[in-house]
Amino acid sequence: MSKIINPIGIFDSGLGGLSIWREIIKILPFESTLYYADSANCPYGEKSPDEIIELSKVITGYLIGQGAKVVVVACNTATTVAVEELRRVFTVPVIGVEPAVKPAALSSRTGKIGLLATQGTIDSPFYRNTREKFAADVEVIARPGFGLVEAVENGRSEDKTTIELLRRYIEPMLDSGVDRLVLGCTHYPFLIPSIKKIVGDRIEIIDPAPAVARRCAAVLQQSALLSDSSLLPEHRFITSGDKEAMKLFLKTIKPNIKYIVEKA
Ligand code: DGL
């Protein structure tokens, strides 16, 4: 398989980062993308920081080896644990995603915000630092979403059992008076239809994906790395997990686009 020319490299522990990929291709329609889903090692959220750093370094190195001009760490867990090390080791720009507690804190009227994220993200000093810096004036009710990543990976985002699991995590937040729910894991935007069944219009759900895509566009522009609009963009996906499951997932979220899916 020939290399794609200067793609935006993107990775996640699995399919979750596709919530960021779809925003990137929406605002950067001339860019090619190379996405790595490490579904064989999913979930990252329950792994040790050392393991997450090692996996992130190997994947980032692979993406750069394939010509990636920037790398988007489309995973909160990998960002909060490994982004500093990736920026130290690699010279291409590395863009991360972290729980959007800042916009939630700024807009909250009740002074209470909910955060659903992985255990790894909630426990990370990186996240603690962000919370202290940008959300010190509000109460953050943080809850690890055990089982939710697996539900998305296995195509069970709208199953009754998944809604019940979400209800267990979110209802106590509603009872405490949160008016914002930050989705601190890139898998969770795929659960929004199910979350809506629980929260209705009572609270605002905050998905950082559009902001990450805008940041990616800004970095490409500042670094003079934007692609030539006369070239046709290509999209290639590599998975360490099940190729057919990835194809099926892509078909559901983006049916009208051409892409190649390969096994790592
Ligand atoms: N999608 C990821 C995140 O944003 C990782 C989930 C996991 O593998 O635990 O945190």
Element (DSSP H or E) covering residue 263:
strand 260-263
Q: Which two tokens stand for residue 57?
A: 């370094």
Taking 90 as the threshold, does the pLDDT of residue 230 lie above it? no
Could you report the per-residue pLDDT of 118-173, keeping only the tens digit for each? Answer: 999 999 999 999 999 999 999 999 999 999 999 999 999 999 999 999 999 999 99
For residues 148 and 161, what is the distance between their CA atoms, to the nearest angstrom?
10
Q: Which two tokens stand for residue 245?
A: 């499951």
Catalytic, 216? Answer no
Report the nearest atom of ligand 1 relative to the CA of 47: 9
Measuring CA to CA, which residue among 8, 49, 52 is closest to residue 26?
A: 8
CATH level 3 topology of 8-97+210-263:
Rossmann fold (3.40.50)
Q: Which two tokens stand for residue 191?
A: 């659960």
Catalytic, 185? Answer yes
pLDDT at 50: 97
Contacts of 167 (CB under 8 A, 6+ apart): 198
Which of 140, 185, 212, 246 does the annotation list as catalytic?
185
For residues 23 and 209, what is the distance between their CA atoms, to the nearest angstrom?
6
The stretch 83-93 carries a mean pLDDT of: 98
Q: Does the domain formed by 101-207 have CATH 3.10.580.10?
A: no
Give me Rg for the CA atoms of the chain: 18
Could you report the per-residue pLDDT of 188-227, keeping only the tens digit for each? Answer: 999 999 999 999 999 999 999 999 999 999 999 999 999 9
CB 77 near ligand 1, within 6 Å: yes
pLDDT at 3: 77
Residue type, 38: D
CA 206 / ligand 1 centre spacing (Å): 16
CB 241 near ligand 1, within 6 Å: no
Instruction: Give the domain ranges of the chain.
Output: 8-97+210-263, 101-207
Taking 70 as the threshold, does the pLDDT of residue 110 lie above it? yes
SS3 category, 29: coil
Report the nearest atom of ligand 1 relative to the CA of 187: 1
Which of 55, 75, 213, 246 does the annotation list as catalytic?
75
How large is the angle between the packed helices 192-199 and 160-176, nearest 10 degrees?
50
Could you report the per-residue pLDDT of 4-51, keeping only the tens digit for each? Answer: 889 999 999 999 999 999 999 999 999 999 999 999 999 998 899 999
Q: Is the fold of 8-97+210-263 the same as that of 101-207?
A: yes
CB 81 near ligand 1, within 6 Å: no
Tally DSSP H helices, then E strands, for the chain: 11, 10
Measuring CA to CA, which residue among 80, 153, 84, 156 is closest to residue 118?
A: 80
Q: Which of 19, 21, 149 to mutate to test the pocket of ligand 1 (most atoms within 8 A of CB)?
A: 149
CB 164 within 8 A of CB 147: no
Mean pLDDT of the chain: 96
CB 56 near ligand 1, within 6 Å: no
The Cα-based distances of 146 to 23, 53, 71, 138, 168 in angstroms read: 26, 21, 27, 24, 11
Alpha helix stretches (DSSP H) within the chain: 18-27, 49-65, 76-89, 101-107, 119-123, 125-134, 148-153, 160-176, 192-199, 209-222, 243-253
Report the nearest atom of ligand 1 relative to the CA of 75: 4
For residues 250 and 236, what is the distance between their CA atoms, to the nearest angstrom?
11
Q: Are strands 180-184 and 139-144 parallel, antiparallel or unpaired?
A: unpaired
pLDDT at 225: 95
CB 30 within 8 A of CB 227: yes
Taking 60 as the threshold, does the pLDDT of residue 1 lie above it? no
Could you report the per-residue pLDDT of 49-58, keeping only the tens digit for each? Answer: 999 999 999 9
Residue closest via CA to ligand 1's atom 8 equals 43
The stretch 166-187 carries a mean pLDDT of: 98
Q: Which of 51, 76, 81, 240 to mutate to test the pocket of ligand 1 (most atoms within 8 A of CB)?
A: 76
The Cα-based distances of 220 to 2, 114, 194 in angstroms read: 23, 32, 35
